Amino acid sequence: MIDFTNVKIAVDFDGTIVDHEYPEIGKEKLFAFQTLKELEKMGALLILWTFRAGKELDEAVDYCRRNGIEFYAVNKNYPEEIYDETISRKIDADIFIDDKNAGGFPGWSGIWQMLVPYELHEQAVERRMASLRKNIFQRIIEKFKQPGGKGGNSVMMFLMLLAALTISCSGRTGKTPVQGSRPSAMARPVQQAMLFRMSAPEENARYLSGDEVRIRLTPLDNGPNPDSVVLSCDGIQVSVLRSEPWEYTVPSSFTAMTGRRSLKAVGYRDDSMQTITRFIEVFSDIVPRIYGYKVLNTYPHDTEAFTQGLFYNSGFLYEGTGQEAGSSLREVELETGRIIRLLNLESSLFGEGITLYRDRIYQVTWQNKVGFVYDRATFRLINKVYYATQGWGLTTVKDQIVMSDGSNILYFFEPELFTVVSRLEVYDNEKKVDQLNELEYINGEIWANVWMTDMIVRIDPATGKVNSWVNLSTLFPEQKRREAGADVLNGIAYDEEGGRIFVTGKRWPKLYEIRVIE
């Protein structure tokens, strides 16, 4: 059986789930719904996407949110007839299922046959044929009910009736295989076989960034060797082995970025195949230094502000606050802490990170999976954006928006469509660094508060490596925070023109300008 555990599969939303939830906008695809459910049972990570827009897009988003399915609205701001299939490939996935993929889509029934026994496939065909027969007879009856239906359309009615009778009697579409011919691949499932073992690397083997990875396959004792083995790294084919030695060295570029990486070997012999998937974990090759700080200035900070997002622009601070019935977006005068402009969020929303992209402010929410785009000068709502995870921190890196979700993963979004174009897994030399919270881009690094700690981690946005840490444990110690009713450190802002770094926390009475020191 093919191992789909943690394999990320991006599926075109059209013609799959849609025709079951919203039949008026969907296309009927045999076995689509059953196939997706089977993939989920086998541990696959499904990502549904669509080119739809307007009401149809809202329905798609609604379905995915209610069912906890990751979803991307690809090309949502363009008419459906403007189709560029390369856009969908920006989604971070191992496999793409798209029936518009010329030559690359085996058909839902073909995929279904790879997942379930042949007998189940035959039963499903029979159920589908019964439904099809019923639909054809209903169409004939409806046609005869129309004015003139018994006259000029009599030939068409005869042909439709003949087709229905053919299906009714045979349980097939009328195509009969030639006697003695070999059954097609669609009529016979691929046989699963045991052809080899993957003796290296081990599952979850640890590597350092820049290491080469040696894949070693061992054919089974007294068994036939495979005809060929296709090797893939992170879903990209890298080699085909056809004879001994069944080995391949993955170049060091594969481990340039930290995080989990997938290795897959698919072996073939005659009509049989075997798939083995392994995951490795890549850690940073840098031992990060831990820096201290020096306070240069202090400024007033609203003790009612549960700070979740912070940035500096043109002499003012912009702050996003959290808590249900207490979330807001604020423009604040730095020197006095006076609130110049305030926008309160709906009471059901828990506000999180904010960032500035061009002349627009983006703000995400914690668990609502919806964000907001505002005009910076007026706080006028321009747009809503949707995402599949929790929203924690935000920052802007060049022409992309980066979001944290409380894990060790940073998501890079294309701002206009708010679709994920890449992910970054953050590791130091010993462990993955999770609980990433508020973010700020400073001098080519992403700085992140680590939730429930007094540490700021400095991340290389190109590799995911931790460059260094900043320890702020003595800035506003935990004992003093408890006495003041304040919460954890959270909030980093950078004045690029002045080279100033500001930090604060949730309900802290002060905002600090600091300089990092040895």
The residue behind tokens 């439904």 is: 131
- Specify if 1 maps to a domain: no
The CATH number of whichever domain residue 75 belongs to comes to 3.40.50.1000
DSSP 344: E
- Which range of residues forms the domain containing residue 23? 8-117
Co-location of 306 and 275 in the same domain: no
The total number of structural domains that make up the chain: 4
Cα gap 172→186, rounded to integer Å: 14
Domain boundary among 237, 265, 283: 283
Residues 326 and 425 both lie in one domain: yes
Residues near 454 by Cβ (< 8 Å), separated by ≥ 6?
471, 472, 473, 475, 478, 488, 489
The residue whose two tokens read 């030639």 is 178
Q: Encoding tokens for residue 248?
A: 């391949």
Question: Three-state SS for 121?
Answer: helix
pTM across the whole model = 0.67
Q: How far is CA 487 from CA 61, 352, 419, 505, in A?
A: 35, 15, 33, 7
Same domain, 338 and 205: no
Contact in structure between 230 and 240 (CB atoms under 8 Å):
yes
Intra-chain end-to-end CA distance of the chain, in Å: 55
CA distances from 339 to 164, 374, 466, 486 (A): 73, 17, 35, 19
118 and 131 in contact (C-beta within 8 Å)? no
**Which amino acid belongs to residue 502?**
F
Name the 3-class secondary structure at 307.
strand
Domain assignment present for residue 60? The answer is yes
Q: In CATH, what number is assigned to the domain containing residue 303?
A: 2.120.10.30
Asked if 137 and 145 touch (Cβ cutoff 8 Å), the reply is no
Whether residue 306 is found in the same domain as residue 438: yes
How do beta strands 436-442 and 247-250 pair?
unpaired
At residue 154, the pLDDT reads: 43
CA distance 45 to 382: 32
pLDDT of residue 197: 92
Please state the separation of Cα 425 from the chain's center in Å.
13
Q: Residue 365, class by beta-carbon neighbours within 10 Å (0-12 exposed, 13-18 middle, 19+ buried)?
A: buried
Do 236 and 308 have their domain in common? Answer: no
Query: CA-CA distance, 446 to 397, in Å (whole number)?
Result: 8
Domain membership of residue 180 (yes or no) is no
Structure tokens belonging to residue 310: 């912070």
Q: Do 357 and 487 belong together in one domain?
A: yes
Phi, psi (rounded to 5 degrees) for 158: -65, -45
Q: What is the rounded distance in angstroms from the CA atom of residue 503 to the CA atom of residue 494?
A: 9
Question: Nearest to residue 168, comparing CAs of 210, 205, 193, 131?
Answer: 131
Within-domain flag for 2: no
**CATH number of 260's domain:** 2.60.40.10
Question: Residue 9: its pLDDT value, please?
Answer: 73
Shared domain for 129 and 89, answered yes or no, is no
Q: Do 231 and 299 share a domain, yes or no? A: no
- Same domain, yes or no: 504 and 357: yes
Q: For residue 184, is it within any domain?
A: no
Q: Say if residue 94 is in the same domain as residue 123.
A: no
Which SS3 state, helix, strand or coil, does residue 156 take?
A: helix
Using an 8 Å Cβ cutoff, are 370 and 385 in contact?
yes
Residues 246 and 328 in one domain: no
| Residue-level pLDDT at 25 | 38
Q: Which of 250, 265, 283 corresponds to the end of one domain?
A: 283
Rounded Cα–Cα distance for residues 230 and 273 (Å): 11
Burial of residue 177, with CB atoms counted within 10 A of its CB: 0-12 exposed, 13-18 middle, 19 or more buried = exposed
The answer to whether 422 and 398 are in contact (CB under 8 A) is no
DSSP 106: -
Both 67 and 48 in a single domain?
Answer: yes
Domain assignment present for residue 179? The answer is no
Which phi and psi angles does 214 have, rounded to 5°? -95, 120
Give 373's strand partners. 362, 383
Q: Cβ neighbours of residue 96 under 8 Å, at least 6 residues apart?
A: 9, 10, 88, 89, 104
pLDDT in tens, the chain (518 residues): 456 666 777 776 554 444 444 444 344 444 565 666 667 667 777 766 665 555 656 666 666 666 555 555 544 433 333 334 444 445 666 666 654 443 344 455 555 555 554 444 445 445 555 555 555 445 545 544 555 444 444 444 444 444 444 444 444 434 333 333 333 333 344 567 788 999 999 999 999 999 999 999 998 877 788 989 999 998 888 899 999 999 999 999 999 999 999 999 989 888 788 889 899 999 999 999 999 999 999 999 999 999 999 999 999 999 999 998 899 999 999 999 999 999 999 999 999 999 999 999 999 999 999 999 999 999 999 999 999 889 999 999 999 999 999 999 999 999 988 988 899 999 999 999 999 999 999 999 999 999 999 999 999 999 999 999 999 999 999 999 999 999 999 999 999 999 999 999 999 999 999 999 98
Q: Please provide residue 195's backbone torsions phi and psi, each rounded to the nearest 5 degrees.
A: -110, -30
Scan for tokens 């974990």, then name that residue.
281
pLDDT score, position 198: 94
Q: Is residue 363 part of a domain?
A: yes
Give a yes or no: residue 262 inside a domain.
Answer: yes
